[in-house]
Every structure is written in C-alpha cells, then in structure tokens.
Amino acid sequence: MLSNRTFLLVTTALAPALWGTTYLTTTMLLPEDRPLLAATLRALPAGILLLLLCRRLPRGAWWWKSWVLGILNIAAFFALLFIAAYRLPGGVAAIMGGIQPLVIALLASRVLHERLTGRVGIAGATGLFGVCLIVLQAQARLDTIGLLAALGGTLSMASGIVLTKKWGQPAPPLTTTAWQLIAGGLSLLLLMLVIEGLPVAPLTPLNVVGYTYLSVIGTAFAYVMWFRGIAQLAASTTAFLGLLSPVVAILLGWIIADEDLTPVQIAGIVIVLSSISAAIISRRATRTCCGDADLYSQQIRI
C-alpha cells in the first residue's frame, strides 16, 4: 500500500496533470477569442457546486482573505491562462510555468522561512531547462502577448500558493476552495461583462462539454486536491509538481492533436520528471535531517 506521503503526492499531482489538458480542451472544444468567458465558466460554476456541497461561508477576516486568494489563484491566473491558451499552442502556453518552482522556493524562503537548499535550486533550474527543451522545439510562432500572459499567470499562482500556505486553511479544502472559486469567479464575471460582454452566438454541444469538463474536473476536483496538498506539503514541493502541466500538455498535443514530438522534447520531458523527483527526494531528506515543516501526516478531510 502507498504511504500517506506518497498518496498525498500522487493526489496533489493530479491537479497540474489535469491543468495540462486545459490547452487542448480550449483549442478543440471552446469558442474562439473568448478567454474571459472561458475563465468565468470554469471558475464560477465550480465554486457554486462546491459551496452547495459544503454549505459554509467564510467568517471574519476570511471574507477578504478568500477574495485576495481568489484573485491570485483563480481570477488573475485563469484570465491570463486562457489568454495564453488562445494565443499559444499546446505546451508553449506553459513555457513560463517552468520558472514557478524557483519563484515559489524563493518566496517561501522569505515569507514562510522554508529552507532554500542548493539541491532545490539546482532541481528548479534543471526543471526550467527541461521545459525550455519541450517548448522551444514546438513548431509554432511564439506570441509575445501570449508569453507575457503565461508569465503573469505563473507569478499570480506562485504568490497565491505562498499566501495560502502562510494563512493556513480554517476549513476543509473543499470549503476553502469553494470560497476562492466564488470570489475569483465573480471577479471574472464582472471583468468579462466589461471587456467581452455576453456571448452573442449560442454555445454548441462541444462548447458545453468543454466548459463542463474544465469546471467540474479541471477546476472543482483539481483545486480541492491542490489546496489539500498545499496544506500538508511544503510550498516548494507543490511548486515542482506544477511542472507536470507542460509535460501533459505536450504529450496530449502529440497523442490527440497529431503535433510533432522530437527527440529533444522527449529529453526535456525526462529532465522535467527527473527534476520533480530530485526536489521531492531533497525535501524528504531535509525534513528528516533538519525538521522540515511538512505537515503531510495531518489528515484533512475533504
């Protein structure tokens, strides 16, 4: 049987793996040029669904904390993610995600006082190199706005992860996820009405399938797993798991969208997976020798 930590790592890794399907879903199933509509329909229905299940509202300071986290983890991240997904192909949309482990490791060392070891830094740089090998071999034009959106989304998510870890979770992950999705979804709804307006053309059955998948599986389920992992793992550990997203994106592009997969990209995938393994092993060794603050042994019920 899997140990508690291994099970937690696997279930947390499901979130970025599912997020890696966003790019293909967007290009194949969603209407064109409606990134804010996609972001809103991904976040708000998922938040309403989870709120109906948990039936609990924030209290005290968690009203504004949920809103801040909802902006960082949901509203800004989703909006920028879909802009990148609409303007960049497959794994290219995740190019800037490669720097996320380094950004989070640095922020965590300053804000959370997590130990920033040389091994973590090397693993982060190696992971970034692997992502670059995956992306730079893609046969597609790199759009500047798309790349900037991907970078902004990465920085927003990195800040949200560190703040989520710093503030803790006053309720089970299902509940706190609902709060953030509602806050982020409402913010996205207002932004969509101002910038894009309501959709004119009716949604097709394929559009409905795409939005439903992204909302229920890629958001409601994935974010509950993600925030559960953040509560019990070191911030830098969850950050490295996020590197699975571009790996899944490029593999799906190869399997489903008939995109080319070169030997250099395969090497990049191997390097990324190796950097994730190295970071996890390094964190485990640090915890054993130095009393790491990983809280993986705590059981939080969803």
**What DSSP character marks residue 21?**
T
What pLDDT score does 91 carry? 52
Q: What is the CA radius of gyration of the chain?
A: 18
Instruction: Note the pLDDT of residue 184.
Output: 95
pLDDT of the residue at 300: 35
pLDDT at 286: 54
Q: Taking Cα atoms as reference points, which of 296, 195, 227 lies closest to residue 47?
A: 227
H or E element in which residue 263 lies = helix 263-290
Residue 45's pLDDT is 95
Contact in structure between 8 and 229 (CB atoms under 8 Å) = yes
pLDDT at 261: 78
pLDDT, residue 1, reads 54
Helices 222-232 and 173-195: crossing angle, nearest 10°? 130
Identify the pLDDT of residue 48: 95
Phi, psi of 141, deg, nearest 5: -75, 135
For the chain, 302 residues long, the average pLDDT of each consecutive 10-residue run is 80 89 85 86 94 93 95 90 70 61 80 76 80 64 76 86 90 93 95 89 92 94 91 82 83 80 84 84 57 38 36
